[in-house]
Amino acid sequence: MYLADEFYLIAHQDSTGQPRLHSRAAGYGLAAALLAELHLHGNLTMDDHNVTVTSLVPPPDPLAHNVLEHLLDEPYKRPVRDWLAFLGRTAVEDVAKRLARLGMLEVVETKRLWGVSRTYVPVAINDAAWPLARITTRLLSGVTRRGVELSLPDQILTGLCFATGLTRQMVWGDEQHSARQYLGQVIGGLPPPMRILVTETEIAISKTAATRG
């Protein structure tokens, strides 16, 4: 499964498909995950100023391809934040569609007072619950210092869970403090472009709380 797919599943309830995140936060988080996918595939990198395309090797998946097209179509180099905002407008729907194509989600229509509401609901609860369970377990074992080596994608996922506030739902009570320490290490240990991505995502989301957003 791609990184953004896993983040989508973490950010939604496994049984109902209802979001766990505020819509803007989900958008920013998934936009970041899509950028991370392209980074992992070697297509782009980012620094404190801009996102830069580094390779035109076609990504394996149509959505990632689409994102890369957007980056290439843009005549100006833009900072991470602009891309988060731009991709964040449609990222939730885009990733849901990709998961639906993979057979992970299905559209459920519910009749409402006005019209019909469409929700993407996981087809198999166990599959949908796996990414959250995995990241939570690794976070907890990291916290209790039983030490698990995180793969780079899992490190990024953990970082994005932190940036969107989802880690607060994974760790409770007394462990919150040591969880923050551990998260600091995980994020601090990311390669610089991914660390910038996580930080920018966190800031973008917190800014929506500071304004009418």
Partner 1 sequence: MSATPRSPVATALAADRLGAASVASFALTAAAPLMVVGGLLVAGWANIGVVGFPLALLIIGAVLALFCFGYIAMAQRIPNAGAFSAYVAQGLGRPGGVAASLVALLSYNALQFGLFGIFGAALSGFLDSEGIAVIPWWVLALVAWVVTTTFGVLRVDLNSKVLLTLLALELVVVIVYDAAFLATPAEGLSFAAFSPDSLFGDLSLSASVLVIVVTAFIGFEAAPVFAEESRDARRTVGAATFTGLAVMLVAYVLTTWAITVTVGPSNVVDAATSDSQNLMFSLASDRLAPWIGTAGSILLITSAFAAMLSFHNTCARYSFALAREGVLPRALAFTGTRSGAPQASSLLQSGLSLIVVIVYAILDLDPVNQLFYWGGALGGFGIVALLIATSISVVVYFGRRGGDGESVWKWLLAPIVSAIALAMVLVFVWRDFHNLIAVPPEDPLRWIFPMAFVAVAVLGILWALVLKATKPEVYRRIGLGAEAGPAMGPGVDFPAPGPASGPVRQIETGARRDH
Q: Which is nearer to partner 1, 123 or 152 (CB)?
A: 152
Q: Which is nearer to partner 1, 153 or 165 (CB)?
A: 165
Q: Which is nearer to partner 1, 100 or 119 (CB)?
A: 119
Burial (0-12, 13-18, 19+ Cβ within 10 Å), 98: buried
Calculate Rg over the CA atoms of the chain: 17
- d(C-alpha 136, C-alpha 118), whole Å: 29
Q: Please give the single-letter amino acid code of residue 135.
A: I
Token pair, residue 13, equals 């309830």
- Minimum Å distance from CB 18 to partner 1? 9
Positions in the binding site for partner 1 (CB under 8 A) = 19-22, 24-25, 47-49, 70, 73-76, 78-79, 82-83, 85-86, 89, 162-166, 168-169, 177, 180-181, 183-185, 187-188, 195-196, 199-200, 202-203, 205-213
Give CA 171 to chain center in angstroms: 18
Q: Please give the single-letter amino acid code of residue 64.
A: A
- Minimum Å distance from CB 192 to partner 1? 8
- d(C-alpha 30, C-alpha 72), whole Å: 20
Q: Count the neighbouring beta carbons within 10 Å of the beta carbon of residue 187.
A: 20
Q: Which is nearer to partner 1, 24 or 97 (CB)?
A: 24
Q: Which is nearer to partner 1, 110 or 211 (CB)?
A: 211
Contact 40, 131 (CB under 8 A): no
- Minimum Å distance from CB 202 to partner 1? 5
- d(C-alpha 203, C-alpha 135), whole Å: 22
- Minimum Å distance from CB 43 to partner 1? 17
- Minimum Å distance from CB 159 to partner 1? 11
Q: Which is nearer to partner 1, 127 or 180 (CB)?
A: 180
Residue 49: partners with Cβ closer than 8 Å, 6 or more residues away: 77, 79
- Minimum Å distance from CB 66 to partner 1? 13
